[in-house]
């Protein structure tokens, strides 16, 4: 009854609460267009196996086209009595093609193969949108890096002053993880490109249908080698959830720094008006809400991944209804990144860096101490002793409330006999930065190369 997909062995319909629990149209409807594409391919496979005549195939395809148009226009929607998108669309097909012809389509396929195929096809489409959004954030970072090439800033470890670096070097250090996320998305697409259609619920079809044909029709590289795995596996959905979570974490790390930089204490960057918010009570406020929402959504994306892994853990082969729970977390992750990525790109692209403030802070906190030690090493002092002597210099300055750059030749002599006035030559931010000229280092020439390398890596995507 009521257009359900089963009935023969049942005396009655499901209880109301059973049906409410089972229902998925409220979230799987977004797969409707792809489900109809699958039906077209499957109809052609049935025709190739002589299970549909030429005329039946033509009528079936025409009915599927009308259904697709009605779904797109909203003229056909899921009814309260439809359990899932697949059942609803079969009802829609029967309404258009008649029960006799419409009832032929389900031969040799199951909703288990449909959903396993559709989730892969959907991810393949949507991950392209995610990749484009990630590329825009990389562009924003690289654009700022190019504009500010030469600006020094304090480099930190443990959030403590460590060594001066170029702002561009630091910004690109946020771009590279995102470039690796693009690599991950591309790698994942190759694994997603295998179609489980034709698994016929579990053991494969007995009707002579060709899964490779259906796969090619749907734009997949091929069909799965194992029908049980094809319908049971959701590792690829979990992998997608991981990449989305990783992107969220990468955006969150950028955001945390933007939040710090835009405080009055740091003063390294000002947020553009269009990418910040005010306070309803404190007139002076300009809040980094984009960055905070990025940080918050990263937690949500991690939750989606861990929830999905928990769903999969302990599931016996093959299809289990638990697998219906894969969709909401992954759809949520895609939806969140769709709105988050453009906002983060806008925030980064419009950040107003404060080069003077960064340059002023770059040598503070004794960040040139490593340069003193390295200078001593070049004078043939063993590094262990050099470290000790440079540490003494830091202590000397700290006791007197001065910076290493304030040291006079007399001070140097008082600290250690090996510190000749020549050491003052390396106590500059520019000298410190340009001395780090090995591949991957912060020297301006290396960072300029790195900018080109990042641009080339991005262009490759
Ligand atoms: N709605 C199900 C899902 O999302 C697909 C249908 C399979 N249902 C079933 N009873 N075999 O996983």
Among 25, 115, 311, say which to mutate for ligand 1: greatest number of ligand atoms within 8 Å of CB: 115
- The protein residue with its alpha carbon nearest to ligand 1, atom 4, reads 324
- Read off the pLDDT of residues 272-295 as tens digits, 9 standing for 90 and up: 999 999 988 888 989 999 999 999
Span between the terminal Cα atoms of the chain, in Å: 51
In our burial notation (b when 16+ CB lie closer than 10 A, e otherwise), range 342-369 reads ebbbbbbbbbebbeeebbebbbebbbbb
**Measured in angstroms, how far is the CA atom of residue 167 from the centroid of ligand 1?**
51
Alpha helices in 362-401 (DSSP H): 369-378, 383-400
Tokens, residue 316: 């016996």
Q: What is the pLDDT of residues 317-357, one digit of tens each?
A: 999 999 999 999 999 999 999 999 999 999 999 999 999 99
Average the pLDDT over 39-51 and give the result. 98
Closest listed residue to residue 186, CA positions, set 136, 234, 111, 123? 123
Query: What would the mean pLDDT of 420-426 be, rounded to a whole number?
Result: 93
Q: 115 CB less than 6 Å from ligand 1?
A: yes
Mutate to test the pocket of ligand 1, among 324, 326, 329, 331 (most ligand atoms within 8 A of CB): 324
Minimum-distance ligand 1 atom for the alpha carbon of 115: 5
What is the rounded CA–CA span in Å between residue 414 and residue 395?
12
For residue 420, the model assigns a pLDDT of 95
Task: Tell me the CA–centroid distance for residue 106 and ligand 1, in Å.
Answer: 14
**SS3 state at 106:** coil
Q: Are strands 152-157 and 160-166 parallel, antiparallel or unpaired?
A: antiparallel
Q: Atom 10 in ligand 1: which residue has the minimum CA distance? A: 321
* Distance between CA atoms of residues 148 and 146, nearest Å: 6
Q: Which residues contact 433 (CB under 8 A, 6 or more apart)?
A: 152, 164, 165, 166, 442, 443, 444
Give the DSSP H/E element, type plus range, for residue 66: helix 54-73
Tell me if residue 427 falls in helix, strand or coil: coil
- pTM higher than 0.90, yes or no? yes
Q: What is the structure's pLDDT at 297? A: 98
CB-ligand 1 contact for 113 (6 Å cutoff) = no
Instruction: State in Å: Cα 324 to ligand 1 middle.
Output: 6
Question: Ligand 1 pocket, 112 CB below 6 A?
Answer: yes
Note the pLDDT tens digit of each residue in 233-249.
Answer: 999 999 999 999 999 99
- Cα(317) to ligand 1 centroid in Å equals 14
Is residue 24 lining ligand 1, measured as CB closer than 6 Å?
A: yes
Query: Is the minimum distance from the CB of 111 to ligand 1 under 6 angstroms?
Result: yes
Q: Are 207 and 110 in contact (CB under 8 A)?
A: no
ipTM of the complex: 0.96
Q: Is pLDDT at 130 greater than 90 in this prediction?
A: yes
Going by the DSSP 8-state scheme, the letter that residue 315 receives in this structure is P
Catalytic sites, residue numbers: 158, 279
> Is 199 a pocket residue for ligand 1 (Cβ < 6 Å)?
no
Give the CA angle between residues 332, 20, 238 to the nearest 5°. 30
What percent of the chain has pLDDT above 90? 95
The DSSP annotation for 267-305 comes to --EE--GGG-B--SS-TT--B-HHHHHHHHHHHHHHHHH
Provide the mean pLDDT of the chain: 96
Tell me, what's the pLDDT at 3? Answer: 59
CA of 202 from ligand 1 middle (Å) equals 13
pLDDT value at residue 2: 52
Given this model, what pLDDT does residue 1 score? 44
Which residue's C-alpha comes closest to atom 2 of ligand 1? Answer: 324
Check pocket membership of 326 for ligand 1, CB cut-off 6 A: no
Could you tell me the domains of the chain?
16-107 (1.10.275.10), 112-360 (1.20.200.10), 365-452 (1.10.40.30)
The answer to whether residues 190 and 173 touch, using CB atoms and an 8 Å cutoff, is no
């Amino acid at each position: 009854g009521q257009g359900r997909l089963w009935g023969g062995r049942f005396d009655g319909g499901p209880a109301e609460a059973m049906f409410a629990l089972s229902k998925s149209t409220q979230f799987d409807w977004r797969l409707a267009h792809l489900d109809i594409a699958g039906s077209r391919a499957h109809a052609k496979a049935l025709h190739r196996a002589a299970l549909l005549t030429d005329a039946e195939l033509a009528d079936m395809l025409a009915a599927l086209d009308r259904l697709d148009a009605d779904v797109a226009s909203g003229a056909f929607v899921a009814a309260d009595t439809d359990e899932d998108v697949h059942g609803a669309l079969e009802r829609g097909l029967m309404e258009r093609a008649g029960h006799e012809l419409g009832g032929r389509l389900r031969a040799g396929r199951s909703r288990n193969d449909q959903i396993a195929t559709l989730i892969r096809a959907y991810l393949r489409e949507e991950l392209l949108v995610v990749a484009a959004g990630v590329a825009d954030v990389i562009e924003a970072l690289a654009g700022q890096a190019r504009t500010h090439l030469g600006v020094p800033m304090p480099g930190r470890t443990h959030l403590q002053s460590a060594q001066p670096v170029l702002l561009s070097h630091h910004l690109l250090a946020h771009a590279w993880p995102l470039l690796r996320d693009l690599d991950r998305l591309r790698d994942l697409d190759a694994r997603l490109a295998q179609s489980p259609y034709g698994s016929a619920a579990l053991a494969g079809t007995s009707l002579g249908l060709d899964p490779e044909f259906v796969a090619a029709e749907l734009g997949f590289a091929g069909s799965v080698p194992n029908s049980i795995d094809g319908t049971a596996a959701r590792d690829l959905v979990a992998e997608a959830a991981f990449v989305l979570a990783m992107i969220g974490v990468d955006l969150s790390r950028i955001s945390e720094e933007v939040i710090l930089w835009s405080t009055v204490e740091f003063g390294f960057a000002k947020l553009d008006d269009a990418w910040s918010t005010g306070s309803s009570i404190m007139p002076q406020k300009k809040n980094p809400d984009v960055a905070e929402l990025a940080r918050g959504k990263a937690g949500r994306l991690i939750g989606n991944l861990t929830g999905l892994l928990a769903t999969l853990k302990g599931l016996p082969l093959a299809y289990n209804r638990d697998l219906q729970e894969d969709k909401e977390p992954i759809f949520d992750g895609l939806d969140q990144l769709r709105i988050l990525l453009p906002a983060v790109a806008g925030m980064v692209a419009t950040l107003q860096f404060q080069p003077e403030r960064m340059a002023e802070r770059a040598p503070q906190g004794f960040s040139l101490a490593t340069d003193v030690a390295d200078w001593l090493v070049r004078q043939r002092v063993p590094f262990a002793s050099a470290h000790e002597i440079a540490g003494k210099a830091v202590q000397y300055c700290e006791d007197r409330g001065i910076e290493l750059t304030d040291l006079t030749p007399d001070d140097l002599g008082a600290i250690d006999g090996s510190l000749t006035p020549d050491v003052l030559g390396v106590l500059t931010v520019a000298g410190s930065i340009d001395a780090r000229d090995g591949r991957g280092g912060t020297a301006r020439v290396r960072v300029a190369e790195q900018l080109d390398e990042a641009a080339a890596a991005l262009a490759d995507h």
